[in-house]
Amino acid sequence: MNLAVISGNGWLHHQNAVHALLLRLAATKSTDAIVLDFDVISREVIQINAAGNQLDEMSTSALTGYVPFAKWMKDSRLAEDVIDTNAILSTATMIPAENIVIIDARNYGLELILSALEKARLAWYPLDTWHPTFAVIADDVYLLRLLPVLASTFYSQPQVLSERETRLIVKALMRRAFIYRWFGPRGGRTIEAIEKTMLSFIGVKE
Amino acid sequence: MAIIQLKHYKKLSYGGSSKNSLMPLPKEIITMAETATIITFRPLESRQKITVLKDMHACKRLDMLPDTDLVFYSVESDSPLAPLLFWDAVHFMSVGRRIMLTGDYVKESYLLRSYFQRSLIVEKQDADGLVLRKVAPLPAEKDAGKNAWTFGIPVGPEDATLLNVVVRRILELDLPHKEILLCGRPGENFHYWDQVRIVGEDITAPPVQICAKKNRLAQEATHENLCILHDRVFLPKQFDKAVKKFGEFYPMTTFQSLYFDDRFNFVPRRYSDFNIAPKIAAMSALGIMRNNDVAATSPVSPSVLPLTDGEGFYYGNPLRYVPSSYLTGSLYLVKRSVWLICPQDENLFWTEFEDLDHGKRAEAMGIPSRINPHAITQSLIARPLLSVHGAVFYESRNGTLEQYRPALEAFPIPRKPLMKILHRQMQDNLARFSSKYVLNAVMMPLPSSAGLNTTLRLKALVQATHCIKVPIQRKALMALIIDYEKLLVLDQLPYSRREYLMMHFLEHGNKAIRGLVSESDQLLNHASQRPRKEIFAGTLLDYLPSVSPIIYIGTFISATLLILGNRKALYFPSGFLGCYRSIIDTTPFSYYAKEKK
């Protein structure tokens, strides 16, 4: 499933261009997370106009996974604890597997969208087949803050560690291994507990 | 006729047989001694000639009873050893004799369980007690006294180096009639094709259908005495003497088992013989087996294994008996008829607590699990999972939970390989994992030295796991965790750990990657057991020590420490010399891998 964050402004003015982009993206079967900002959408508009392309019926049927964010809210009020988990679960199962999911979250705060995405991870988790694309339309100001979160909502993403970071992880593990080797499971656990207490006493966090 | 007073071995803390500990034997029971033999733990109020059997423990058998009717007074209430005592008494008793159980406060007597039903008929059952008459021999009595054995080994198609060692030892055993059955076809380098019978080639793998294989071995066995063993169990040279010394009519029995982690017998670990799982019986979370029989819910069904895993399993003490005792599946000495009454459940596969399920069902039927202490076996290989930082937890003689760790565990003594994986296999596995999960853009060249030492291995694993991209989707995560276990950790993950990792990914996404290496208890265990080298095998011969004077010194030190120290995790009835001899006799020297002409 590829992931997209769509400019709310672009969606408002050029829905057809966004549709065209999403369909092309879905066809790639990649697992990337991309941003479709206003510039990208504008360029698509120019290309469509130049080629005179129109979306055919088959293609538009793949776009029927449009869900207004208000449907994921209990009673459409902006307040704490208003995310409707059941609605998110039913979105995941009700939208046919071949359709693109588009969540229209324009005019909603970032925090609310992020907590809804956490629930979305739970909703999509048991599905054997994921939708080809999961897109979120958001206010332009949030696009770049939303994108990395969306990327790691549905995928555990790779992290490139420096040589030093790698060495530190291995060193810490080997140090613990040394303690357990010489003191056994019971002794090792006791020493680790003492160490933790001492570190917290002098105010060092792990 | 006689009165036999039993007294527990004091160190078991089972309770004494004095007037301070128990009420005296009632007079009306004493009068019964005129016509029957009375067996009790109760003291007598008046002075009377009685036979006292001291130091009763689970390795002692009650096989010296006179051939009379028997009266067990309050034995079930006074002793946890009652199931073993009843087992021996009813098997050694002649057909036609009666056994009376009285003075007990138990809901239902052990002798009313299904195993005994066809041979012991109830003559009287009321508030005063239970009278049973033996009308037919019990299943374990079939072919009694016949010294003929079938050895059954479930095998797979992999390298047969270690299987050759196991089979050569069986061929050496001094038994008049023996048969070796292999369930499955061994690897091409197997030496003894003409001395074994191969059965069960139709049983498919994976998953490893170990229960189906063991059941098939029992069905195909020619002899009534059945020894089912894994292809890593090296039997004692004095097998024949040990089984004769223990006596006939044995229930589910095994030998204690050791694994020497080093090449010179300095580091003896107790390894996979006899366990207890005291909390399983009270487990409220049950599941349904693979046959979807809703009437047979079980705490070891595949769907609740992560919960079962957390209930705690400990090595049992050979001298004690608890109803949750079970043999861990490595070695069964059992009568074929007994096995066929209580076969393993073929709904379970290997590592799905099939041994626990079997022991639990056998006990419920009235077939106890116990140790034959007159010999030991050695395991040729060991899974690191079963020794946490070289230690195991076991039930001590007085019933407390103790940690047993060899005294020389931490010392830098040359070791056997930690895992039965060759260097090149490890390298191939790492490459397979990387090609499947690591994103091409961030893929780093795999170090060819990753298997050489622990630091390099951990470094390679950190790099490989931090570079993966995986959907947080149930199916994909399950596949990832299975591959992580089989291709990177190369050791079985506890079911609870698998479940934890899945949930960690679901809740924390990227952060869960840390759990794969830096928070992995399995890798920490590997690193503490092998801080430098000797993680992977060059060849499987690395597991077999060569004959050298140092090995005799190592055995001497180990025997001394096992007898004097280590809190008596094992029991050697014949003392230091017996222990020393048992270890030497079961050391799998490298020449065993060569073909015996």
pLDDT tens, B102-152? 988 787 899 999 999 999 999 998 888 899 999 999 999 988 888 899 999
B1 has pLDDT over 70: no
Write out the CATH class of domain B148-277+313-412. alpha beta
Average pLDDT of B60-73? 92
Residue B595 — very low, low, confident or very high, per pLDDT cuts 50/70/90? confident
CA distance B138 to B146: 16
The per-residue pLDDT for range A70-107, each reduced to its tens digit, is 888 886 555 556 888 899 999 999 999 889 999 999 98
Q: Do B509 and A182 touch (CB under 8 A)?
A: no
From residue B455, give the alpha-carbon distance in Å to each of A108, B73, B400, B488: 49, 63, 37, 14
User: Closest residue of B to A164, CA-based?
Assistant: B459
Q: Tell me which residue of B178, B219, B213, B215 sits closest to B195, measured CA to CA.
A: B178
Question: CA angle at residue B18 from B15 to B20, to 5 degrees?
Answer: 85
CA distance B186 to B596: 17
CA distance A196 to B203: 52
Least confident of B277-286, B317-326, B365-374, B474-483: B277-286
Q: Do A173 and B388 touch (CB under 8 A)?
A: no
pLDDT score of B594: 87
Q: Tell me which residue of A140, A127, A108 sits closest to A36, measured CA to CA.
A: A140
Q: What CATH architecture does domain B3-137 belong to?
A: 3-Layer(aba) Sandwich (3.40)
Kindly state the tokens that stand for B213: 């294989």
- Mean pLDDT estimate for chain B: 91
Pairing mode of beta strands B331-335, B325-327: unpaired
Cβ-nearest to A185 among B388, B455, B475? B388
Q: Do B469 and A157 touch (CB under 8 A)?
A: yes
pLDDT score of A205: 60
pLDDT score of B168: 96
Question: pLDDT > 70: what percent of chain B?
Answer: 99
pTM: 0.89
Residue B378 — very low, low, confident or very high, per pLDDT cuts 50/70/90? very high
Question: pLDDT > 70: what percent of chain A?
Answer: 89
pLDDT score of B555: 96
Least confident of A166-175, B247-256, B370-379, B437-446: B437-446
3-state secondary structure chain A: CEEEEEEHHHHHHCHHHHHHHHHHHHHHCCCCEEEECHHHHHHHHHHHHHHCCCCCHHHHHCCCEEEEHHHHECCCCCCCCCECHHHHHHHHHHCCCCCCEEEECCCCCHHHHHHHHHHHHHHHCCCCCCCCEEEEEECHHHHHHHHHHHHHHHEECCCCCCHHHHHHHHHHHHHHHHHHHHHHHHHHHHHHHHHHHHHHHCCCCC
DSSP B467: T
Angle between helices B575-585 and B549-564 (to 10 degrees): 140
DSSP B148: E
pLDDT score of A50: 83
For CA atoms B117, B119, B121, B126, give the dihedral sign. Answer: negative
From residue B158, give the alpha-carbon distance in Å to each of B187, B195, B379, B541, B590: 5, 19, 18, 15, 19
The per-residue pLDDT for range B329-352, each reduced to its tens digit, is 999 999 999 999 999 999 999 989
Find the largest Cα–Cα distance for chain A: 76
Contacts of B525 in chain A (CB under 8 A): 180
pLDDT score of A81: 60
Measured in whole angstroms, how far is the alpha carbon of residue B575 from the centre of its chain? Answer: 23
Average pLDDT of A179-195? 91
Question: CA angle at residue B126 from B121 to B129, to 5 degrees?
Answer: 75
CA distance B1 to B581: 41
In terms of Cβ atoms closer than 10 Å to its own Cβ (0-12, 13-18, 19+), residue B552 is middle
Angle between helices B495-508 and B474-483 (to 10 degrees): 130
pLDDT score of B110: 94
Q: Tell me which residue of B102, B108, B112, B35 sits closest to B75, measured CA to CA.
A: B102
pLDDT score of A203: 74
Q: Do A184 and B517 touch (CB under 8 A)?
A: no
A58 has pLDDT over 60: no
Residue A161 — very low, low, confident or very high, per pLDDT cuts 50/70/90? confident
A62 has pLDDT over 70: no
pLDDT score of B163: 96
The per-residue pLDDT for range B516-549, each reduced to its tens digit, is 898 899 999 999 999 988 889 889 999 999 999 9
The per-residue pLDDT for range B156-186, each reduced to its tens digit, is 999 999 999 999 999 999 999 999 999 999 9
pLDDT score of B382: 93
Measured between CB atoms, does A184 come within 8 Å of chain B? yes
Q: Does B278 sit behind a cis peptide bond, omega within 30 degrees of 0 on the bond before it? A: no
Total Cβ atoms within 10 A of residue B443: 15
User: Closest residue of B to A185, CA-based?
Assistant: B389
Which candidate in B262, B387, B389 is best for mutational testing of the A interface (most A CBs within 10 A)?
B389
pLDDT score of A77: 55
User: Closest residue of A to B441, CA-based?
Assistant: A158
Cβ-nearest to A181 among B469, B471, B528? B528
Per domain, the residue ranges of chain B are 3-137, 148-277+313-412, 419-537
pLDDT score of B296: 81
| C-beta separation of B451 from B426 below 8 A | yes
Which candidate in A1, A178, A180 is best for mutational testing of the B interface (most B CBs within 10 A)?
A180
pLDDT score of A59: 57
In terms of Cβ atoms closer than 10 Å to its own Cβ (0-12, 13-18, 19+), residue A175 is exposed
Q: Does B573 sit behind a cis peptide bond, omega within 30 degrees of 0 on the bond before it? A: no
pLDDT score of A55: 57
Helix/strand/coil for B88: helix
Average pLDDT of B369-395? 93
